[in-house]
Amino acid sequence: MRFKPRFLKFFLNIFFVAFIICLFIPTLRAQYAAGYRIGFYNVENFFDTEIDSTREYNAFTPEGEQAWNFFRYRKKRMNIFKTLLAAGEGQPLALIGFCEIENDQVLRDLIISTPLKNFDYQYVNYPSPDRRGIDVGLIYQRSKLRLISSSPIPLKDPENENFRSRDMLYASFLVQTDTLHVYINHWPSRWGGELPTRRLRMLAAQTLRKHVDSMRLFHPQAKIVIMGDFNDTPNDESIIKGLQALSKDEISDPYQLVNLFTKPSELGFEGTLKHQYDWQIFDMIIISQALFSKSGVRFVEGSQRIFAPDFLFTEDERYMGKKLFRTYIGPRYEGGFADHLPVFIDLEYIDE
């Protein structure tokens, strides 16, 4: 059989169109996917310079023992901005959770008095009863996320009515037509020893888990992101048993949570803070299994990272290698960034 020229031309055109469609299918699909990088950062004592008459702790003031002043405060604020911009690879993160912030004023200054003012951020913060006056909080881009509700989650010790710690923070957001539930944490520290303070971190885990379970009564397939400085590692009982957060390959129950920060080899760096010679992972992002969905808001697999650029480090002469470039070491001002590294994940919205 012999094709006439006009039929040959027709089939060639069909082949060419099919080739172009196949070539651009990934691009066409990407047009229906919107990206959202979200992260967490323990910014280490982000205080303003004002004396808080309601607190006993006022070390971070011009008259205080840290000799904290406007110029140091401004540099700290700009250092945080630089870190966030670098973590977003030049683009603003959709949401960033923080701990060790003093109040809403420092968040307001961060989003108004740095170039972040160009990205339409808003903040969420509630004062908490921590004895040093440090809180958790978050900022988010209103062009990408719409705040639905928010509330603090108090941490109380039934065995000690004088116990004071920072609250946890809950916030829910509308992401296009889907809902994202976010928890920001800064669990009780190991100050005084890991063993004597272990019970308090388990208490924090159980308090948070109770809130998550209560919310899931109404939203069984809730898409949840839990992030923070947990002052425990992924292998500690507070995370595994209290919060019921495990690596994805260990999940055996639909209500267990997925800890994305269990395997340092997948995170780009070995830890988020250094204790003497050893790096540890205290800062984590944990998600519900619903974020592995095929549509709506979902986790971009493999995107979990500890953000560890060179500028956040300095040489560690005592314990070798490198250590974090901090704002202070004891009373000595260093002018650096923080004593923890930030962490982040990528989410995407798929409209199918």
The residue ranking higher by pLDDT, 17 or 218, is 218
Residue 17's pLDDT is 35
How many angstroms separate the CA atoms of 275 and 278, rounded? 5
Average pLDDT on 14-41 reads 56
Q: Could you report the per-residue pLDDT of 71-116, keeping only the tens digit for each?
A: 999 999 999 999 999 999 989 999 999 999 999 999 999 999 999 9
Does residue 5 carry a pLDDT above 60?
A: no
Mean pLDDT of the chain: 91
Residue 18's pLDDT is 42
Does residue 10 carry a pLDDT above 60?
A: no
Residue 222's pLDDT is 97
Does residue 28 carry a pLDDT above 90?
A: no
Q: Provide CB contacts within 8 A for 183, sequence distance 6+.
A: 153, 168, 169, 170, 208, 211, 212, 224, 225, 226, 227, 228
Does residue 27 carry a pLDDT above 60?
A: no
Domains located in the chain, CATH noted? 37-350 (3.60.10.10)
Average pLDDT on 195-210 reads 97
Does residue 240 carry a pLDDT above 50?
A: yes
The residue ranking higher by pLDDT, 83 or 4, is 83
Lowest mean pLDDT of 3-17, 128-142, 173-187, name the range.
3-17
Q: Could you report the per-residue pLDDT of 53-78, keeping only the tens digit for each?
A: 778 889 999 999 999 999 999 999 99
